[in-house]
C-alpha cells in the first residue's frame, strides 16, 4: 500500500468540508455515530457540537440533529409536563442558526432540527400530533414504513430525484405554520409536514425523518451527499 506523507494526509483532510453536527451532551451516542458515518461516507469531516463543546470559528456546513422536544415557549405554545426538553441545546442551536445562516452556510435539519429551523424563522409547531389529529396511528420506527409525497421541482425533489419515498418516523411533533421564507415541500399520507426548505437560501432544508439511519436508501443518501457537496462549494 502506498504510504502518504504527513503533509499529504493533512492536505486530503483539508479537502473534506467541516460539517458541524449538533447533539445532546447527555445522550445521542448511537445517533452521533450514524451521523458521523453518513457525513464521512460522502466526503465530509464531521464535528460533534453540543452545549459543553466549543464551537469553532469556521464551519463549512451544519446539521441540526434529532433529539428532545423544543421548548414550547419558543413558538408561543403551552408547555407539556410529560415531555423531555433540553434548554441548553435549544439555545446552542438557535445561536448557530443565527450565526451561520446569514453567511450562506448550507444547513440541514433532521427531525427536531427541521422543527428548530422553522421556529428560528418565526414558524410554529404542532406540539403533539397524536392529540391534534384524531385517529392518527402511532408510528415510531427507524425502518422506512411511512410514505411521503414531495412537491415536484422543489429543491428536495431535485436532490432526492423522486416524487415520493418511504421514510422512518421517530417524532410526535411537526411543523405547523411555516416560518418566514419557508416552503412546505413534503407531506406524509396523513397530511403531516415532513419536509421544508427556504426560498431565500441556497441550502436550508429540513426533513422530519432520519436519512442517516437509512444507509442503504439511495435517495436519502443523496440528501447527505448534497449537503456535503454544497459545503465544499461554499
- For 8, the grid coordinates are 499529504
Enumerate the active-site residues: 111, 210, 212
What is the spatial order of strands in the sheet that 204-207 belongs to?
A: 45-49, 18-22, 61-64, 107-110, 204-207, 193-198, 182-188, 141-150, 164-169
Look up residue 83 and give its three cell numbers.
415531555
C-alpha cell of residue 149: 409525497
Sign of the CA dihedral running 227, 31, 71, 95: negative
Tell me the angle at which helices 29-41 and 218-233 cross, rounded to the nearest 10 degrees: 70
* Lookup: cell for 132: 391534534
Amino acid at each position: 500500500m502506498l504510504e502518504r506523507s504527513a503533509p499529504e494526509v493533512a492536505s486530503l483532510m483539508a479537502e473534506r468540508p467541516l460539517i458541524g453536527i449538533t447533539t445532546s451532551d447527555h445522550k445521542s451516542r448511537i445517533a452521533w455515530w450514524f451521523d458521523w458515518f453518513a457525513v464521512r461516507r460522502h466526503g465530509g469531516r464531521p464535528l460533534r457540537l453540543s452545549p459543553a463543546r466549543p464551537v469553532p470559528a469556521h464551519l463549512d456546513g451544519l446539521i441540526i440533529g434529532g433529539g428532545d422536544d423544543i421548548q414550547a415557549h419558543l413558538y408561543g405554545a403551552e408547555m407539556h409536563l410529560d415531555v423531555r426538553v433540553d434548554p441548553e441545546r435549544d439555545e446552542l442551536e438557535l445561536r448557530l442558526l443565527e450565526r451561520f445562516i446569514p453567511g450562506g452556510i448550507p444547513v440541514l435539519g433532521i427531525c427536531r432540527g427541521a422543527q428548530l429551523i422553522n421556529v428560528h424563522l418565526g414558524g410554529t409547531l404542532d406540539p403533539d400530533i397524536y392529540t391534534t389529529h384524531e385517529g392518527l396511528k402511532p408510528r415510531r420506527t427507524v425502518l422506512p414504513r411511512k410514505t411521503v409525497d414531495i412537491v415536484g421541482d422543489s429543491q428536495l425533489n431535485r436532490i432526492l430525484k423522486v416524487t415520493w419515498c418511504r421514510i422512518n418516523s421517530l417524532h410526535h411533533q411537526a411543523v405547523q405554520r411555516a416560518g418566514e421564507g419557508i416552503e412546505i415541500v413534503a407531506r406524509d399520507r396523513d397530511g403531516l409536514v415532513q419536509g421544508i426548505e427556504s426560498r431565500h437560501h441556497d441550502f436550508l432544508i429540513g426533513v422530519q425523518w432520519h436519512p442517516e439511519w437509512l444507509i442503504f436508501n439511495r435517495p436519502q443518501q443523496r440528501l447527505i451527499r448534497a449537503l456535503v457537496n454544497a459545503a465544499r462549494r461554499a
